[in-house]
Amino acid sequence: MKPIITAKDLCLWYGQSQALKNIDIDIPECSITALIGPSGCGKSTFLKTLNRMNDLIPGVKITGTVKYNGTDIFAQDVNLLRKEVGMVFQKPNPFPMSIYDNVAYGPRTHGIRSKARLDEIVEQSLKDTAIWDEVKDRLKKNALGLSGGQQQRLCIARALAVQPQVLLMDEPTSALDPISTLKIEELASKLKEKYTIVIVTHNMQQALRISDRTAFFLLGELVEYGDTDQIFSNPADQRTNDYVTGRFG
Amino acid sequence: MKKSSNLFENLVHGVFLILGLVTIACVLIISLYLIVSGIPAILEIGLVDFLFGTQWASTAAEPKYGILPFILTSIYGTFGAIVLGVPIGVLTAIYLSKLASESVKNIMGQMVSILAGIPSVVYGLVGMMVLVPGLRKLFNIPDGASLMAAIVVLAVMILPSIIKMSVTALDAVPGDYEDASLALGATPEETYFRVSLPAAKSGIAASVVLGVGRAIGEAMAVMMVAGNAPNMPDSLFQSVRFLTTAIASEMSYSSGLQRQALFSIALVLFLFIMLINALLNFFLKGEKKG
């Protein structure tokens, strides 16, 4: 499969401490790539580099290249990049406004004003995230009234509404109950037909269940990257083996 | 031993209770006093003539006690101060809360506190010496002491409370909301106006109501710059008198019905302020819920 994101020799420092060390990775299109590893290993930092959310943290220094569809992400307009590379956060964070306005926020930001067009996008995004039937009668109600799992699916719908190519998910189910988690996982598996998904997860079962490729990070290094089956059944590196079999982490 | 400590606790409890009651008693006594002393003149003049009479001539041979000019002046003046002060205050708050570096935020925050601490007579003085002649020259009018001058002074006076409360409200907006907006490709500016401001709206609304309260209750500064003639506020450049200044300027030499009418004005002012307090509580409650 053709890679949509390519990182070469990527290093990142928070002030003096190096959080990413010479990361080389190709992320294939229309697949799910899981980033696993113990806390503080750099997987979330790497994820946030892909849509340049790290730019917001003072004292961050980045070297190396990341290419999205062949263009250097650090050379292009950050707002256009983020339109293409959407993000879902660890804690569901819908805006304190109506369900409709939450989903319409992104398209409005990118200049869509037509009511009919917005209605269409909102409906499609909510259908894509399998939440339409639950909320279609209360689109004008405040999104904070939804359950945690519904809020997270709404956040995914909000991210999809700007028609991104890539969806970054930063432990999207860690704040959710098992049933909501299952729904998000099913959703991710469905969404990979159209989108490239990169997901950070602490839950190795989750990585095994849904991902096609898995990258194991440790202390800022990319230790091993390969097909999920191979990583979990027959890892090449001893450290990967120790981690996926639960010896540490 | 146990008994004496109980006694001590009861004593302390009693003292605090009494101190609390003193405050409540002050409010009750003032309210009661205003109502009792404000009503007779209203009854004598007639509620409609008093509230909607357009002429105030308390010392004329045939005295007229219509306070509509004062009511309208207070409303226009406060409204003008809000129109002028709120955009400046809220934009400053966005700058301080979201854009300014830590050191700028500290320095400007302290300046704002100083602005809040300047006595109103000093505002009046500066307004009188600088603003009034400035307006006269700028707009080429016979006298700069006018509604406009009062609006400008009031706008500056309400800035500190608007800025401080808005900054607090904006600081309290969870970073998650802003991250979500940025991650959708919105610029930081769009994020502040479309996410942070709406999320902080009840706190900002409360700051505006507080500003209204300050502006409508201010007497000294506006007395010094508004010209103080009991005209209907037909134009921005007219010499006008506020509810507060109507009381302050005549109280020292008033007597009889005139004096009673001044108490009635105080009662009207008091009702305005009670209304504003009720609004403030409403918004603050909304903020706790939201």
Residue-range domain boundaries for chain B = 2-52, 67-289
Q: How far is CA B102 from each of CA A32, A89, A186, B92, rounded to the nearest angstrom? A: 41, 27, 45, 15
Question: For residue B4, is pLDDT > 80?
Answer: no
Rg (CA), chain A: 18
Interatomic CA distance for residues A203 and A38, integer angstroms:
10
Q: How far is the alpha carbon of A7 from chain B, nearest alpha carbon, in Å?
A: 20
A162–B contact, CB cutoff 8 A: yes
**B67-289: which CATH number, 1.20.1250.20, 3.30.365.10, 1.10.3720.10, 1.10.275.30?**
1.10.3720.10
- What mean pLDDT do residues B165-172 have? 95
Give the model's pLDDT for residue B144.
Answer: 87
Contact state of B184 with A82 under an 8 Å Cβ cutoff: yes
B190–A contact, CB cutoff 8 A: yes
Interatomic CA distance for residues B270 and B278, integer angstroms:
12
Mean pLDDT of chain B: 91
Question: For residue B288, is pLDDT > 70?
Answer: no
Determine if the pTM surpasses 0.90: no
A96–B contact, CB cutoff 8 A: yes
Res. A201 pLDDT band, cuts 50 70 90: very high
Q: What is the pLDDT of residues B174-222, one digit of tens each?
A: 999 999 999 999 999 999 999 999 999 989 999 999 999 999 999 999 9
Q: How far is the alpha carbon of A125 from chain B, nearest alpha carbon, in Å?
A: 14
Quickly count: other Cβ atoms within 10 Å of residue B108's Cβ.
16
Interatomic CA distance for residues B208 and B88, integer angstroms:
12
Contact state of B179 with A110 under an 8 Å Cβ cutoff: no
- Residue of chain A whose Cα is closest to the Cα of B189: A109
Q: How far is CA A197 from each of CA A32, A167, A169, B91, rounded to the nearest angstrom? A: 5, 5, 7, 39
Q: What is the ipTM of this complex?
A: 0.90
A158–B contact, CB cutoff 8 A: yes
Sorted by sequence, the CB contacts under 8 Å of residue B140 that are 6+ apart come out as: none
Contact state of A106 with B190 under an 8 Å Cβ cutoff: no
Give the model's pLDDT for residue B290.
Answer: 44
Give the model's pLDDT for residue B111.
Answer: 94
Q: What is the pLDDT of residues A205-246, one digit of tens each?
A: 999 999 999 999 999 999 999 999 999 999 999 999 999 888
Question: For residue B21, is pLDDT > 70?
Answer: yes
Structure tokens, B208: 């505006």
Q: How far is the alpha carbon of A218 from chain B, nearest alpha carbon, in Å?
A: 26
Query: What phi and psi values does residue A131 have, to the nearest 5 degrees?
Result: -120, -5
Give the model's pLDDT for residue B287.
Answer: 57
Q: What is the pLDDT of residues B48-87, one digit of tens each?
A: 999 999 999 888 888 899 999 999 999 999 999 999 999 9
- What mean pLDDT do residues A82-99 have? 94
B158 membership: H or E segment, kind and range? helix B147-171
Mutate to test the interface with B, among A49, A57, A79, A101 (most CBs of B within 10 A): A79
Question: For residue A32, is pLDDT > 90?
Answer: yes
Residue A95 with chain B: CB contacts under 8 Å: 177, 180-181, 195, 198-199
Question: For residue B2, is pLDDT > 70?
Answer: no
Mean pLDDT of chain A: 93
B175–A contact, CB cutoff 8 A: no
B176, B184, B187 member nearest A162 (Cβ): B184
A227 DSSP β-pair partners: A213
Dihedral angle, C-alpha B116, B119, B123, B124, nearest 10 °: 150
Sorted by sequence, the CB contacts under 8 Å of residue B182 that are 6+ apart come out as: A53, A56, A82, B188, B191
B35–A contact, CB cutoff 8 A: no
A82, A93, A97 member nearest B185 (Cβ): A82
Q: What is the pLDDT of residues B131-152, one digit of tens each?
A: 999 999 999 888 889 999 999 9
Contact state of A110 with B190 under an 8 Å Cβ cutoff: no
A53, A79, A94 member nearest B179 (Cβ): A53
Mutate to test the interface with A, among B181, B184, B195 (most CBs of A within 10 A): B184
Give the model's pLDDT for residue B6.
Answer: 86
Sorted by sequence, the CB contacts under 8 Å of residue B237 that are 6+ apart come out as: B135, B139, B141, B146, B147, B148
Give the model's pLDDT for residue A57.
Answer: 87
Contact state of A95 with B190 under an 8 Å Cβ cutoff: no
Mutate to test the interface with B, among A44, A95, A97, A142 (most CBs of B within 10 A): A95
- Residue of chain B whose Cα is closest to the Cα of A106: B184
SS3 B62: coil
For the structural domain made of A3-244, what CATH number should be given? 3.40.50.300
Interatomic CA distance for residues A186 and A175, integer angstroms:
17
Res. B1 pLDDT band, cuts 50 70 90: low
Interatomic CA distance for residues A26 and A167, integer angstroms:
15
A87–B contact, CB cutoff 8 A: yes
Contact state of B176 with A56 under an 8 Å Cβ cutoff: no
Q: What is the pLDDT of residues B104-141, one digit of tens each?
A: 999 999 999 999 999 999 999 999 999 999 999 999 88
- Residue of chain A whose Cα is closest to the Cα of B290: A96
Contact state of B177 with A93 under an 8 Å Cβ cutoff: yes
Question: For residue A106, is pLDDT > 60?
Answer: yes
What is the percent of chain A with per-residue pLDDT over 90, rounded to a whole number?
86
Res. B284 pLDDT band, cuts 50 70 90: confident
